[in-house]
């Protein structure tokens, strides 16, 4: 009987579907990852593996996974997986594109408006009893409407973000490793160099995946090119940003603020300097976290596992 390893607690309705396909071994915690040692042991016996971003899939775990046919990643980004190594071992890797696009763009948009209009500061101001009277510039922020927004990474999430900007009368710039004529024609997005994007944008929004090309892309040089009141939003991956350089840029008013849903180290340390900055809004990697979207993502992982175990093509296979 096929053994299916699930590294995080998922709802019964999905477990029941997996049980039709094989024996399910599930780590019963929702908010804590399976210890690496246990994972390495369990994966040796597994035919299919349903994982989250917390699991690092490398040669160390694949070399003993003799029965493994599929790794279904509960995310669109798959920088936690050594896909070359999986391919070498004849293991299919799948992810969850499309189903999370709109939800993730929506979170990015929320983050942009939140930082622009200083919503977290304003809420704390009220909660802490500081609201004594109205003031002409009390907690005044920055307009998104009429601004220039630069999108770094014009994949599905980047395009979805640009679609949301259509009602805001913004100039949309983008930078991507290849041009997207559809975005240029339908969304009025203008392709520019990375430097142009940094220099001209009031909001710089990163939706890119983590690759060797994007790693550390937002570093001291990049922040020094941005406008002094620019707001930087990251819904891609934490390692695209040099966080020390970002902190410096915020402290020295090289940029105006940031909103990050992804961090280099997740979860972020409670004493991390970014958490002490008024002009930084930090979220716990919740880009795709709506109930409906998470259900769809889990279902897609289940469907991919089902396809592979029944000898069919997976629905959303990852290729390097």
Contact residues for ligand GLV, defined by CB under 6 A: 75-77, 100, 287-288
Q: Which helix or strand (DSSP H or E) is residue 189 part of? A: strand 189-191
Nearest to 161 by CA among 191, 224, 99, 206: 206
For the stretch 310-313, contacts whose Cβ atoms lie closer than 8 Å and that sit 24 or more positions apart, written own/partner, are: 310/21
**Which 8-state DSSP code applies to residue 275?**
G
Question: On the CB side of 234, how many CA atoms lie within 13 Å of its CA?
Answer: 29
Our CB check for ligand GLV shows the closer of 65 and 75 to be: 75
CA–CA gap between residue 70 and residue 248 (Å, rounded): 43
Q: In 130-159, which positions are buried (b, 16+ CB within 10 angstroms) versus exposed (e)?
A: eeeeeeeeeeebbebeebbbbbbbbbbbbb
Active site residues: 237, 266, 285
* Nearest-approach distance from CB 237 to ligand GLV, in angstroms: 7
235 contacts 262 by C-beta, under 8 angstroms: yes
Our CB check for ligand GLV shows the closer of 140 and 212 to be: 212
Instruction: Give the bridge partners for 70, in sequence order.
Output: 48, 92
Our CB check for ligand GLV shows the closer of 100 and 226 to be: 100
Residues 6+ apart with CB under 8 A from 36: 56
* Nearest-approach distance from CB 76 to ligand GLV, in angstroms: 4
Our CB check for ligand GLV shows the closer of 202 and 243 to be: 243
* Nearest-approach distance from CB 36 to ligand GLV, in angstroms: 20
Strand arrangement, sheet containing 92-94: 23-26, 3-6, 48-51, 70-73, 92-94
* Nearest-approach distance from CB 147 to ligand GLV, in angstroms: 26
Our CB check for ligand GLV shows the closer of 157 and 197 to be: 157
Helix, strand, or coil here: 191? strand
């Amino acid at each position: 009987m096929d053994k299916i390893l699930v590294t995080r607690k998922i709802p019964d309705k999905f477990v029941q579907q997996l049980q039709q396909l094989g024996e399910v071994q599930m780590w019963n915690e929702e908010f804590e990852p399976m210890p690496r040692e246990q994972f390495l042991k369990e994966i040796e016996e597994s035919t299919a593996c349903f994982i989250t971003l917390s699991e690092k899939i490398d040669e160390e775990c694949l070399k003993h996974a003799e029965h493994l046919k599929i790794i279904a990643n509960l995310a669109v980004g798959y920088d936690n997986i050594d896909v070359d190594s999986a391919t070498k071992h004849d293991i299919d890797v799948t992810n969850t594109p499309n189903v999370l696009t709109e939800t993730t763009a929506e979170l990015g948009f929320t983050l942009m408006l939140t930082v622009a209009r200083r919503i977290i500061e304003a809420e704390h101001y009220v909660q802490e009893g500081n609201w004594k009277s109205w003031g002409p510039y009390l907690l005044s922020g920055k307009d998104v409407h009429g601004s220039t927004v630069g999108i770094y990474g014009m994949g599905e999430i980047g395009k979805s973000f640009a679609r949301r900007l259509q009602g805001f009368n913004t100039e949309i710039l983008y930078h991507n490793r290849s041009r997207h004529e559809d975005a240029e024609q339908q969304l009025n997005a203008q392709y520019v160099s990375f430097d142009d994007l940094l220099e001209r944008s009031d909001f710089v929004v990163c939706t890119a995946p983590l690759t060797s090309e994007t790693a550390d892309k937002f570093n001291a040089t990049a922040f020094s090119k941005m406008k002094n009141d620019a707001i930087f939003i990251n819904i891609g991956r934490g390692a695209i940003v040099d966080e020390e350089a970002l902190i410096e840029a915020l402290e020295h008013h090289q940029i105006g603020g940031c909103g990050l849903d992804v961090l280099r180290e997740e979860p972020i340390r409670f004493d991390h300097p970014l958490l002490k900055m008024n002009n930084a809004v930090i979220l716990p990697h919740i880009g795709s976290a709506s109930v409906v979207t998470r259900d769809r993502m889990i279902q897609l992982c289940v469907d991919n596992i089902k396809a592979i175990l029944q000898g069919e093509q997976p629905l959303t296979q990852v290729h390097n």
